[in-house]
């Protein structure tokens, strides 16, 4: 993944299998680079933390790190969930809502396995976060899931996103029209 920070520095983001998120700073898109590595994800029994996504909100000072925990790709048996932390720097530290560092096991649950956050168990195993600000000035959040009401078919969900106290929140009452 490529991130461009507020100072127009380009960074590549890697999430390695051993729970290490590494950022490589690219100097003007050349081969010169320096690396910073941090451990995000803490002490899970499984080593499945992936799909790092950093979103730099244009209207506040925060970078938001979304990561997927647990197991993907098992249909309605998937245990995937999305965790979040935020930082004022793209290199962290990223802290969850309780102030716990993601590198030390923190990570606020953003969407759970059955997406009970949404009040609907249809959306199993959400993963791979994405945020988009549309020309209508609304923010939208996308993720894949396994559709429990459609034989576990892999599917895409798009939700309107609101912000409360500089934390993202899915607006379940707004129906996105494609």
163: domain CATH number is 2.115.10.20
The pTM of the full predicted model, rounded to 2 decimals, is 0.77
Residue 55, domain member (yes or no): yes
Residue 50, domain member (yes or no): yes
Given its phi and psi angles, is residue 107 left (phi above 0), alpha (psi -120 to 50 degrees) or beta? left
Which residues form the domain of 87? Answer: 2-171
pLDDT in tens, the chain (178 residues): 555 555 655 555 544 333 344 444 333 333 433 444 444 444 445 446 788 899 999 899 899 999 998 888 889 999 889 999 999 998 899 999 999 998 888 899 999 887 677 788 889 999 999 999 999 999 999 999 999 999 999 999 999 999 999 999 999 888 887 6
Residue 167, domain member (yes or no): yes
Tally the residues of the chain. Answer: 178
Q: Omega before 7 cis (within 30°)?
A: no
Instruction: Identify the CA nearest to 14 among candidates 4, 3, 29.
Output: 3
CB 123 within 8 A of CB 115: yes
Residue 73, domain member (yes or no): yes
Residue 64, domain member (yes or no): yes
Residue 178, domain member (yes or no): no
Q: How many domains does the chain have?
A: 1
CB 111 within 8 A of CB 81: yes
Residue 176, domain member (yes or no): no
């Amino acid at each position: 993944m490529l991130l461009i920070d507020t100072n127009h520095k380009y960074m590549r983001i890697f999430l390695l299998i051993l729970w290490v998120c590494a950022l490589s700073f690219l100097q003007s898109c050349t081969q010169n680079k320096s690396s910073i590595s941090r451990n995000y994800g803490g002490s899970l029994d499984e080593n499945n933390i992936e799909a790092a996504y950093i979103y730099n909100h244009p209207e506040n000072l925060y970078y938001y790190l979304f990561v997927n925990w647990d197991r993907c790709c098992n249909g309605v048996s998937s245990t995937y969930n999305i965790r979040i932390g935020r930082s004022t720097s793209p290199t962290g530290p990223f802290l969850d809502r309780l102030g716990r560092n993601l590198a030390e096991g923190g990570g606020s649950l953003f969407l759970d396995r059955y997406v009970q956050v949404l009040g609907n168990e249809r959306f199993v195993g959400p993963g791979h976060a994405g945020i988009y600000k549309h020309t209508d000035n609304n923010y939208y959040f996308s993720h894949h899931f396994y559709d429990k009401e459609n034989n576990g078919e892999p599917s895409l969900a798009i939700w309107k996103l609101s912000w409360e106290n500089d934390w993202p929140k899915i607006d379940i009452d707004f129906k996105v029209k494609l």
